[in-house]
Chain A
Amino acid sequence: MDASLTRSIFDVLSVTSILVLLVMGMAVIVGMMKVFNLCQGEFVLLGALTAYLTYEIFGSVLLGILLAPIMVGAFGLLLERTVIHRFYANPQGALLATFAVGLIIREGLRTTMSTQASPVPAPISSSWVIFGATLPVWRIVIMAVTVALLIVAAVILIKTSVGLRVRATLNNPELASASGVSRKWMYAWTYATGSALAGFAGAMIVPLQTLYPNLGFDNLITMFIAVMVGGLGSFAAPVVGAVAIAVPGSIMSILINPVTAQILIVLCAIVFMRLRPNGLLKSGM
């Protein structure tokens, strides 16, 4: 295998794993809870910011990666109890409210930052040479972590009683609360979990994308397309959606060019959603 083909395959895997990692939080909040959470991108941004701050203050990005899910998860919990829970019966309201929250975070950071973009180094900056291609180790770490997280999420949702309660509450809130599950806290913790996953993803990817106010927003569109293509109502569908757009997207980027690829992907997604409005997977775990 020659170096350039190795790099191409690696790029496809890397781009896909990054999108899957980013979409996991969204799969919980948009996929499972069906809250159209327009500040999902800003959760990613807050995670990235955490990594940047721990790097600036303590000199450690790794610390930020560990702290990001806790900080952003706590923020998500607070947000759910103060704002989001008021809008479960009013999706349009949720759309506006979450957009506003995102706007405040994004523009707040823009006015605070003294530069347009701040780099954050990867915790592991070395490269491996595989088939003559020099491949950054941090991207390999992201692939491994993404796969591990997917397995953990699947096990929790399918095998544990917590997973059962979550699925029960989201599928039939009335019956679940009649069976003794606290609907209020189940929603709050689920939302917090989705936030924590997004924050973790943000801290993981910021070394590859630099910290800038639109970091979350620029990723949000692709994340939403992934959810729409995959379908609502489950955790698995958005993840499948992410793979379904990242793989052809990165292949087109390689074979044609990134500008055309971006347009074609959105075009394909629109046509696909017209043909299959419920997405690739209708329901699942």
Chain B
Amino acid sequence: MKRKSMTVGSRGALRSVALLATVGLVLAGCSSSDTASETEAEATATQSETTEAAAEEEVDTSPIKVGVLTDLTGAFGIVGQSNQAVAQFTIDEINANGGILGRPVELVIVDSASDPAVGAQVASKLVNEDQVDVVIGGVASNMREAIKDIIATRGNTPYIWPASYEGNECTPNVWNVGAVPNQQVDPVVNRLLAEGKKTFFLTGNDYLYPRSVLAQVRKVVEAGGGEVVGEEYVPLDITDTSTLVSKVLASNADVLFEIIVLPATAPFIQGVVDGGFEGEIVGTLFDEAINGIIGTQADGLLGIQDYFATIDDTFSRDKVAEFAAAYPDEAGLFSATFNAPAWYRGLYLWKTAVEAAGTTDAAEVEKTMDSASYDALIGGPASMVPGTRHAQLTMYLGQMNADGSVTIIESLGSVVPEQCG
């Protein structure tokens, strides 16, 4: 595994003359690494045996560096604020319990400003200048695409992608700890089919995530004997959703499965609800936050997430209460759609992997993270499914209420991701 990623890394570096400067920085880090810490050696060490031997001989108490890359400003600024607070909360907790491998953990936080070009720059800084041991972050998939090669491939540093997303991210050193389409879609669609709801209208914005999720919905609906009576995509910059609303109403479908993102979410759902739609409205982006966006028309929406504030789990409730006490300004930002449970989960799964490996060395963590598992997590236990780079998660089906709370309809248990296999 290590040899493989090393080869990819050097090929990537040779591809472009512009990268010569970066290579220089990495080499500089390498020459100083044998005296400082094993962490710096991981990027370019040619003989891991030497490093491991050195680590065993002397007790290392230098801090482990966790790179946090998120959108603190720009369109996703609010999500980034939540991510930063959750990361800080998690690391404070880990440090209070003795750190990792007896070493303290420190955060290096960078702002990717909701702009993949900025993300690429700060990702490079984390890996090459700060020489972090792991990077966690990214809000939207275009950010992940912009930074993953810099971190995981060329930087040979573990990268945790903590978001529910469209799937198919199978790059070495990249670990996906959020839900993928089948984890959100399969349980709820099968449940609705079993309830006798057979006709589905699918709609979303015209980009990868909605199309991937709705492709999964179509697959499960058709396999289960249901029928897709309409499938319609709208541009991301749509200003008037009235014609789409009319199509949904005309379909008389039993279920509307929708992934219309902001800013059209509220006008669309309000239009459908006020227009008298009688079926169920289901989405992968609904949680406690949706009331603030849609208002009272959010009453009755069905959402599938890896966490809701009302799940019947004492550990989750206590932890989130601790978080709210520690970060009163961000207390309302601990939600599934802001990836808060996934950030907590990702950091603990990585901690488990590092402890199993006995080192932060990327090649060793690549082996142990493959089957990392942890129970004391917000939302419930999670484990990486070996060979898939994705996590098996506990999922919940919740119904939104007019007052902003969520009633848990069903705890769906642990759902296996269908990925990279």
Task: Say whether A associates with B.
Answer: yes
Residues of A within 8 A of B (CB): 3-4, 7-8, 11, 14-15, 18, 110-111, 114-117, 119, 121, 125, 127, 133-134, 136, 139, 208-210, 212, 214-215, 218-219, 222, 250, 253-254, 257-259, 262
Given contacts A7-B246, A7-B249, A254-B243, contact A210 B235 (CB under 8 A): no
Which 4 pairs across A and B sit closest by C-beta, in order of nearness?
Answer: A117-B263, A212-B263, A4-B250, A253-B243
Does chain A have a CB within 8 A of B227? no
- Interface positions of B (Cβ within 8 A of A): 73-76, 78, 206, 232-235, 237-240, 242-244, 246-247, 249-250, 262-267, 270-271, 274-276, 292-295
* A136 and B267 contact, Cβ closer than 8 Å, known pairs A15-B243, A119-B293, A208-B240: no
A250-B243 Cα distance, complex, nearest whole Å: 7
Do A258 and B263 touch across chains, with their CB atoms under 8 A apart?
no
Other-chain residue from B206, B262, B271, B292 in contact with A212 (beta carbon distance below 8 A): B262
List the A side residues contacting B243 at CB < 8 Å.
Answer: 8, 11, 15, 250, 253-254, 258
Is A209 touching B267 in the complex (CB atoms < 8 A)?
yes
Whether the pair B233, A218 counts as a contact (CB closer than 8 A) is: no
A117's partner among B73, B233, B238, B262 (CB-CB below 8 A) is B262
The interface residues of chain A lying within 8 Å CB-to-CB of B78 are 114-116
Give the complex CA separation of A133 and B76 in angstroms. Answer: 38
Of B73, B76, B242, B267, most A-chain CB atoms within 10 Å: B242
Q: How far is the CB of A118 from chain B (nearest CB, A)?
A: 8
Q: Which of B250, B263, B271, B292 has the most CB of A within 10 A?
A: B263
Query: What chain A residues lie within 8 Å of B270 (beta carbons)?
Result: 119
- B267 CB contacts on chain A under 8 angstroms: 208-210
Given the interface contacts A115-B292, A117-B263, A218-B239, does A258 sit within 8 Å of B244 by beta carbon? Answer: yes
| Contacting residue for A210 out of B233, B244, B249, B266, CB 8 A | B266
Chain A residues near B275 (CB-CB < 8 A): 127, 134, 136
Partner of B250, one of A7, A136, A258: A7
B237, B249, B250, B266: the one within 8 Å of A218 (CB): B237
Say whether chain A's binding surface is mostly helix, strand, loop, or mixed: helix
Determine whether the beta carbon of A259 is less than 8 Å from that of B263. Answer: no
Chain B residues with CB under 8 Å of A262's CB are: 235
Nearest CB of A to B321, in Å: 23
The minimal Cβ–Cβ distance linking A102 to chain B, given in whole angstroms, is 16
Which of A110, A119, A212 gathers most chain B CB within 10 Å?
A: A119
A219–B263 Cα distance when bound, in Å, is 13
A139 to B292, CA, bound (A): 23
Q: Which of A4, A116, A215 is within 8 Å of B75, CB to CB?
A: A116
B262 engages A259 (CB within 8 Å): no
Q: In the complex the two chains form, what is the Cα distance from A259 to B240 in whole Å?
A: 12
Q: Which residues of B have CB within 8 Å of A134? A: 249, 274-276
Q: Is the CB of B263 within 8 A of A215?
A: yes
Assess whether A254 is in contact with B246, with CB atoms less than 8 Å apart.
yes
Can you list 6 A-B pairs, Cβ within 8 angstroms, ordered by A? A8-B243, A117-B266, A208-B267, A210-B267, A212-B263, A253-B243
| Separation of A181 and B203 alpha carbons in the complex (Å) | 56
Say which residue of B239, B242, B276 sits within 8 Å of A11 (CB atoms). Answer: B242
Q: With the chains together, A210 CA to B271 CA distance in Å?
A: 12
Residue of B with least CB distance to A8: B246
> How far is the CB of B118 from the nearest CB of chain A, in Å?
15
* B-chain residues with CB within 8 Å of residue A111 when the two chains form the complex: 73
Decide: B233 and A257 in contact? CB cutoff 8 A.
yes
- Name A139's closest neighbour in chain B (CB-CB): B242
